[in-house]
Amino acid sequence: MKKLFASVCLAAMCVSGTAFAADYPSKTIEVVTHAGNGGGTDVTTRMMMLRARRVLKQDMVIVNKKGGGGAVAMNHYLNLPADGHAILTFTIGHAATLAKGKTKMTLDDIRPIARGTDDPQILMVKCGVYDSAEAFVAAQKENAIIYGTTHLGNIDDVSAFMFTKKGGMKTPKIVPFDGGGELATQLVAGAVDAAVLNLAEAGSQIEAGDVCPIVVLANKRMDALSDVSTAKEMGIPVSFSTVRGFVVHKDTPDDVAKAIEDALLKSMKHPVYQGFLTSVGLDATSVAGSEVWGNQIDTMVTDMESALKELGFIQ
């Protein structure tokens, strides 16, 4: 009797699980972001959605929740049902906010789905000032230089600090600017000695020959900058990227999470999204599934916590 009951229950669960997967999605899917309209995260999310809504055969809408370095968006997301009809865009900024304990969310509250961009931090200088990456490093072992960033207590100044620290260089002075475009302009003007930027932020100045990428903070060289050394090649174990990807509630049913992952990966491997990546200097390696993305999230939060403690942003 017990065996028969167990069989019936198992069959019921299987039918229930299959029905749930078959019924998903049953309504509009909200994609929660912390970025305003037109920002890099907002654009990345919308480009993903162009094809994902077709794959999932359901409408998808952006829900912008700005503030607190992603804290407002994360706290809002915690209150939404774990049924797969809400997806959270997750970035390196969210990792910093988690590391600083500025949100109710923890890593245990989310499960990774897919990564959409992996945009390495690049150290850039005014062309002609340094002959090589080695000369750039050697100069900083003698004297501290001024780095320009677009954030404080986030990936940009952490990148500069960890590069100089792990490379045995003098601790730099950090000067923040309002955005990458202004920072690139001020680098050319000589207001700072180096800048922490992404490729797209200084594209026009690089094309004009005014700004030169000198070190890429990544595990391997970028296709678009194949002649620029990575920090790791120089014996400096530092790798930081402006990453953007997607997560869901940890309690989202496995079959639903898998359906979302499959849909997002398919949409981001489509030529439309790949064209977007190419336009911002990235390539197909930006797109990754839940395993790679989950490991990267864990590493990001751990590294950010360590660096922010050393910088004094975390007591």
Burial-class residue 233 by CB neighbours within 10 Å (0-12, 13-18, 19+): middle
153-193 pLDDT, tens digit each = 788 889 999 999 999 999 999 999 888 888 999 999 999 99
Q: Which residue has the higher pLDDT, 181 or 132?
A: 132
Tokens of 121: 């931090």
Let me know if 76 is exposed, middle or buried by CB neighbors in 10 A (0-12, 13-18, 19+): middle
Q: Which superfamily is assigned to 119-234 in CATH? A: Periplasmic binding protein-like II (3.40.190.10)
Q: Which of 124, 142, 307 lies closest to 213 in space, CA to CA?
A: 124
Question: What homologous superfamily does CATH list for 20-118+243-311?
Answer: Bordetella uptake gene, domain 1 (3.40.190.150)
Examine the pLDDT at 13 and tell me if it is beyond 70: no
Q: Where in the chain is the domain with CATH 3.40.190.10?
A: 119-234
| pLDDT band at residue 117 under the 50/70/90 scheme | very high
Please give the share of the chain, as a percent, with pLDDT higher than 70.
93
* pLDDT for residue 4: 35
Q: What's the CA gap between 255 and 248, in Å, rounded?
A: 13
All CATH 3.40.190.150 domain ranges of the chain, comma separated, are 20-118+243-311
Residue 59 clears pLDDT 50, i.e. is over it: yes
| 260, pLDDT greater than 80 | yes
Is residue 1 pLDDT above 60, yes or no?
A: no
Q: Distances from the Cα of 27 to the Cαs of 58, 85, 86, 134, in angstroms? A: 7, 7, 10, 55
Whole-prediction pTM value?
0.79
Structure tokens at 29: 């899917």
Residue 227 confidence (pLDDT) above 70: yes
Q: Other C-beta atoms within 10 Å of 117: how many? A: 24
CB 100 within 8 Å of CB 44:
no
Q: What is the pLDDT of residue 22?
A: 66
